[in-house]
């Protein structure tokens, strides 16, 4: 397989570090590796596969000689994504900046890898919760079109980055010591609490996080008629997002067929034996790449509806792993 000159923009953050781990685990073919970050992180040293890399400040001139840039997300995407694209670099971006742009394919490789054909050098990685849901919906959608989805998410603090993890850890200690808590990353105390508010408010009192799941899922499946309602909730879990999904299909799909579809999908792990207390949990999914599905039930009132419980590591499959899989797919299809 062809080897590439690869850059990681945001190499010092949680997703950037997971990208490096994924490159090593998946043996992604790179010729050279360039670590980039903000001015604040420039000069730090990252040791990777026996070599020390000095982190460079990301500038307009950082992308000369680069074939592929993995952007870990954040302000750098808006500042440098299009610049890198114009320099002939293929950009795979983790931020929400370009996801709904008409000229940017939004890719979950298991679902719509074909949309990479004819890409113009900028490819978007979907929102983590969207990726998790799309992988779970995909085998059912291919069998019978999904017409409606109602999803509630239970999102780990690591979805807010290292700062979210640090805040939960700090608050747990503060509560144990009976100290006063002053929230910084989240709107309220997150320790031993749930916050039904992720990202900014948008139309009809839905949050941006909720509307991402609507518009991005429709784009990934190429189906603007799919009706989706989302409620996204931050929970005091360190890692791995969970989702309760209600879905309606065009035809009634027997429960044994649904389970067989999941069992045949290599990106999904079926954990569905409730009588023996076997079902997905964040502890199950953490530090793995699969999407775990369980608690599969027919709806009590609609024979064309199902209920699913879905869990996945949002830093891996919800971000870094999906990004690397897109790169692998580009190489496989000779699109880079």
Which residues are tagged catalytic? 128, 241
Lookup: tokens for 261: 């579809």
Q: Name which of 117, 10, 94 is nearest 323 in CA terms.
A: 94
Q: Residue for token digits 């950082």?
A: 62
Q: Residue for token digits 């590796």?
A: 33
Q: Are the C-beta atoms of 217 and 151 separated by less than 8 Å?
A: no
Q: Are the C-beta atoms of 25 and 46 separated by less than 8 Å?
A: no
Q: How far apart are CA 271 and CA 310, in angstroms?
A: 10
End-to-end CA distance of the chain: 12
**Can you tell me whether residue 325 is helix, strand or coil?**
helix
Question: What's the full length of the chain, in residues?
Answer: 336
For residue 207, give the DSSP letter.
B
Which run of H or of E encompasses 311? strand 305-312
The packing angle between helices 255-264 and 128-143, to 10°, is 120
Q: Residue for token digits 């992604």?
A: 28
Q: Which value, to the nearest 10 degrees, does the dihedral of the CA atoms of residues 162, 164, 167, 173 take?
A: -90
- Count of CA atoms in the C-beta half-sphere (13 A) of 162: 9
**Can you tell me whether residue 233 is helix, strand or coil?**
strand
How far is the CA of 234 from the CAs of 17, 19, 195, 309, in angstroms?
Answer: 23, 24, 5, 17
Residue 146's contacts (CB-CB under 8 Å, 6 or more residues apart) are: 137, 140, 221, 226, 247, 248, 249, 250
């Amino acid at each position: 397989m062809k080897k590439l000159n690869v850059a990681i923009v945001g190499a010092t953050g949680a997703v950037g570090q997971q990208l490096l781990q994924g490159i090593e685990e998946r043996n992604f073919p790179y010729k050279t590796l360039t670590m980039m970050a903000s001015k604040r992180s420039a000069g730090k040293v990252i040791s990777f596969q026996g070599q020390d890399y000095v982190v460079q400040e990301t500038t307009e001139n950082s992308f000369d000689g680069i074939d592929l840039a993995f952007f870990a997300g954040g302000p750098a995407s808006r500042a440098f994504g299009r610049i890198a694209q114009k320099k002939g670099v293929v950009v795979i971006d983790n931020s929400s900046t370009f996801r709904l742009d008409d000229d940017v394919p939004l890719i979950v490789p298991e679902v719509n890898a074909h949309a990479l054909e004819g890409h113009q050098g900028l490819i978007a990685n979907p929102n983590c919760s969207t990726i998790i849901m799309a992988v779970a919906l995909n085998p059912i959608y291919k069998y019978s079109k999904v017409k409606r989805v109602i999803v509630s998410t239970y999102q780990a603090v690591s979805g807010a980055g290292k700062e979210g993890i640090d805040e939960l850890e700090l608050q747990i200690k503060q509560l144990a010591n009976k100290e006063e808590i002053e929230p910084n990353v989240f709107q309220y105390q997150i320790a031993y609490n749930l916050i039904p508010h992720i990202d900014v408010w948008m139309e009809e009192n839905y949050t941006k996080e909720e509307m991402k799941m609507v518009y991005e899922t429709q784009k990934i499946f190429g189906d603007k008629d799919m009706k989706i309602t989302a409620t996204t909730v931050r929970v005091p879990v360190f890692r791995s997002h969970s989702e309760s999904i209600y879905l309606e299909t065009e035809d009634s799909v027997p429960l044994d067929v649904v389970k067989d579809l999941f069992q045949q999908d290599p990106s999904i792990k079926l954990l569905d034996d409730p009588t023996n207390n076997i079902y997905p949990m964040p502890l199950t999914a953490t530090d793995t790449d699969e999407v775990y599905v369980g608690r599969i039930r027919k709806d009590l009132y609609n024979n064309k509806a199902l209920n699913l419980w879905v869990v996945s590591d949002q830093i891996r499959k919800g971000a870094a792993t999906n990004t690397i899989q897109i790169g692998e797919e580009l190489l496989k299809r000779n699109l880079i």
